[in-house]
Amino acid sequence: MQQIDGSLQTLLPSQHVWDVYLRDICATAFGAGRLMSLPADVLKQIDLMPWLLDVRPAQRMPGRNDWRTWLFSGGRGAGKTRAGAEWTRWAALMGGYRRIALVGATLHDVREVMVGGESGLVRTEHRVGFAPEYSASRRTLTFDNGAVAQAFSAEDPDSLRGPQFDAAWCDEAAAWTYGEATWDMLQMGLRLGHRPLAMVTTTPRPVPLVRRLLAAPDTVHTHSRMDENRANLAPGFVAAMHAKYDGSALGRQELDGVMLDDPDGALFLRSEIDAARVGTVPPLDDVVVAVDPPATSGKTADACGIVAAGRAGRDAYVLGDASVPGLKPLGWAERAVALVRLTGAREVIAEANQGGEMVRQVLETAGCSVPVRLVHARVTKRGRALPVATLYQQGRVHHAGTLADLEDEMCRFGAADFAGSPDRVDALVWAIWALMLDEAVLRARQL
Ligand SMILES: Nc1ncnc2c1ncn2[C@@H]1O[C@H](COP(=O)(O)OP(=O)(O)OP(=O)(O)O)[C@@H](O)[C@H]1O
Ligand SMILES: [Mg+2]
């Protein structure tokens, strides 16, 4: 066994408690049944933080101290959220950090995943009676030593204007609606204490924020594939993920956490979507919701594509994607109706190749109060999408914030290895077609 001796004391300042060296020594002592031979201070730290004995290398805070942002990227279920929660817990209880920002894609995600989820901050507190308390009204999580973490949503970057922090944990930053704006606001407030730090945990997508973080000189990057965390995942989950993604390009992102660039043949390009993206939408002349119903329902069925878009002058604005897999007709119809209400759409465009009149009926049963126009696909999906892709190339279609799942599907659609059904793209194409390419609309505008 390596030196389990007084020299450890020099490593003990809490900044170093995650150090590889210390962790390996603890693990070796633990494996050799000699845990009690460790110095009392180390034992105390392990007692407070048993995660030190479980943590995998990619989940371990880098020992160097020349970084300001730690980006931990990985596939689905790779242990990103758990690592973020454990690091935040360490920062609050052992690192001396007192004012922490918790930033998620939505406030719901912060509350349900980062704080209260299976891998979240409340569950990672193993000491009975010491779990941090969340105040929904103040959106704060208070640790038992008085350190406070405050919840923020990447849907509202301005909410980060004003408050100051000494640490931040950002989960699933590659799917944030206003990624760069949220990050910039956070950085301005991250200015308390002697060494403000941020940890970002995410499945990597080639969005501007992730590219920027990877290129920044003060970012350190660790990475894990889903399979490396296999021992801690339900066998059913791992098998289902492999069945769904093995052999596909998306599998490299979802399982291996590899950042994918635009594949050959893709009809829509990331760079075009990014270049035309907007934070605010101008007053709109027209809004529609398009629905692409699945042929069947149930767990293995295709998703129901549900996309809202509007038009202002010569440009279109994609406002929201409520597409959903696995719901029965009334379930997806209710989501479509909710999106109609949210966006003030004047009409629902529904593809009627699957289900015909039934689609109209189910939307009406779900309370749809605007007209439902049934449309029939006569050309191939690719043929329909081509003129819409041209509008993207011309910079005339703008996404309001990031629509992560829709954009992932768009940027794979058309590529040689694209598998599955492009339900979100179908709904998007119908919506843009109805707003910008429908002959009736074009004629009316020329009058
Ligand atoms: N080093 C570890 N030791 C023990 N359990 C772990 C470890 N890392 C992660 N886990 C467990 O693995 C499961 C998945 O982890 P987690 O939720 O953090 O994954 P994730 O990458 O955030 O997943 P998703 O892609 O769904 O967001 C959780 O139950 C978590 O507690
Ligand atoms: Mg997670």
pLDDT above 60: residue 229: yes
Distance 444 CA to ligand 2 centre (A): 48
182 and 237, same domain (yes or no): yes
Given 14, 37, 54, the domain boundary residue is 54
Q: Please report, for the domain that includes residue 292, its CATH number.
A: 3.30.420.240
The residues, ordered by sequence, that sit 6+ positions from 418 with a Cβ below 8 Å of its Cβ are 249, 412
113 and 237, same domain (yes or no): yes
280 and 381, same domain (yes or no): yes
Distance 205 CA to ligand 1 centre (A): 19
pLDDT given at position 3: 31
Q: Could you tell me if residue 262 is inside a domain?
A: no
Nearest-angstrom CA–CA distance, 26 and 62: 17
Q: Could you tell me if residue 261 is inside a domain?
A: no
Nearest by Cα to 224 from 75, 55, 83: 75
Beta carbon of 119 within 6 Å of any ligand 1 atom: yes
18 and 77, same domain (yes or no): no
DSSP 353: T
pLDDT above 80: residue 6: no
Least confident stretch, 67-76, 88-97, 175-184, 437-446: 437-446
Q: Could you tell me if residue 135 is inside a domain?
A: yes
192 and 70, same domain (yes or no): yes
Nearest-angstrom CA–CA distance, 173 and 115: 16
Residue with the nearest Cα to atom 26 of ligand 1?
A: 77
Beta carbon of 23 within 6 Å of any ligand 1 atom: no
Q: Above pLDDT 90, what percent of the chain?
A: 63
Q: Residues 271-283: pLDDT tens digits?
A: 899 999 998 999 9
38 and 66, same domain (yes or no): no
Q: Could you tell me if residue 263 is inside a domain?
A: no
- What's the whole-model pTM score? 0.76
pLDDT given at position 59: 93
Beta carbon of 126 within 6 Å of any ligand 1 atom: no
Q: Residues 398-446: pLDDT tens digits?
A: 999 989 999 999 998 888 777 778 999 999 999 999 999 987 655 555 5
Query: What are the C-alpha distances in Å from 288 to residues 82, 208, 225, 295?
Result: 40, 29, 40, 22
pLDDT given at position 30: 61
**Virtual CA dihedral for 305, 300, 328, 334, nearest 10 degrees?**
-30
Q: Residues 211-228: pLDDT tens digits?
A: 999 999 999 999 999 999
Q: Could you tell me if residue 260 is inside a domain?
A: no
Q: Residues 106-152: pLDDT tens digits?
A: 999 999 999 999 999 999 999 999 999 999 999 999 999 999 999 99
Nearest-angstrom CA–CA distance, 19 and 34: 20
Cα dihedral across residues 50, 53, 59, 63: positive or negative = positive
226 and 301, same domain (yes or no): no
13 and 117, same domain (yes or no): no
pLDDT given at position 61: 85
Q: Could you tell me if residue 1 is inside a domain?
A: no
Confidence class for position 10, pLDDT limits 50, 70, 90: very low
Confidence class for position 353, pLDDT limits 50, 70, 90: confident
pLDDT given at position 32: 62
Confidence class for position 297, pLDDT limits 50, 70, 90: low
Nearest-angstrom CA–CA distance, 422 and 48: 48
pLDDT given at position 132: 97
64 and 47, same domain (yes or no): no
Residue with the nearest Cα to atom 5 of ligand 1?
A: 232
Atom of ligand 1 nearest to the CA of 82: 18
Given 228, 254, 280, the domain boundary residue is 254
Which residues, listed in sequence order, are joined to residue 289 by a DSSP beta bridge? 308, 348
pLDDT above 90: residue 308: yes
Residue with the nearest Cα to atom 1 of ligand 1?
A: 55
Beta carbon of 81 within 6 Å of any ligand 1 atom: yes
Q: Could you tell me if residue 421 is inside a domain?
A: yes
Q: Is 301 exposed, middle or buried (0-12, 13-18, 19+ CB in 10 A)?
A: middle
Domain residues for 343? 270-446
pLDDT given at position 15: 44
pLDDT given at position 116: 97
Q: Residues 370-411: pLDDT tens digits?
A: 999 999 888 888 888 999 999 999 999 999 998 999 999 999
pLDDT given at position 60: 87
Q: For residues 343 and 319, is the Cβ–Cβ distance under 8 A?
A: yes
Least confident stretch, 261-265, 288-292, 421-425: 261-265
4 versus 431: which is more confidently predicted? Answer: 431
154 and 246, same domain (yes or no): yes
Nearest-angstrom CA–CA distance, 362 and 339: 15
DSSP per-residue codes, 135-159: ETTTTEEE-TTS-EEEEEETT-GGG
Nearest by Cα to 92 from 138, 43, 133: 133
Q: Could you tell me if residue 243 is inside a domain?
A: yes
Mean pLDDT of the chain: 87
Crossing angle for the helix pair 208-215 and 179-189, to the nearest 10 degrees: 50
Distance 119 CA to ligand 1 centre (A): 6
Q: For residues 95 and 81, is the Cβ–Cβ distance under 8 A?
A: no
Ramachandran quadrant class, 401 (left: phi over 0; alpha: psi -120 to 50; beta: rest): left
pLDDT given at position 16: 46
Q: Residues 19-78: pLDDT tens digits?
A: 544 566 666 666 666 666 677 777 777 788 888 878 898 998 887 778 999 999 999 999
Distance 101 CA to ligand 2 centre (A): 17
Residue with the nearest Cα to atom 20 of ligand 1?
A: 77
Atom of ligand 1 nearest to the CA of 55: 1
243 and 315, same domain (yes or no): no
Beta carbon of 223 within 6 Å of any ligand 1 atom: no
Nearest-angstrom CA–CA distance, 308 and 279: 16
Given 220, 254, 288, the domain boundary residue is 254
pLDDT given at position 262: 77
Q: In the chain, how many domains are there? A: 3
Cα dihedral across residues 112, 118, 119, 121: positive or negative = positive
Atom of ligand 1 nearest to the CA of 84: 18
Beta carbon of 50 within 6 Å of any ligand 1 atom: no
CA angle (417 as vertex; 412, 423 as ends), nearest 5: 45
Confidence class for position 7, pLDDT limits 50, 70, 90: very low
Collapsing DSSP states into helix, strand and coil, what is residue 38? coil
pLDDT above 80: residue 84: yes
47 and 145, same domain (yes or no): no
Bridge pairing between strands 133-135 and 140-142: antiparallel
Q: Please report, for the domain that includes residue 101, its CATH number.
A: 3.40.50.300
| Polymer length in residues for the chain | 447
pLDDT given at position 395: 94
Beta carbon of 78 within 6 Å of any ligand 1 atom: yes
Beta carbon of 79 within 6 Å of any ligand 1 atom: yes
**pLDDT, average across residues 346-356:** 88
Nearest-angstrom CA–CA distance, 342 and 157: 21
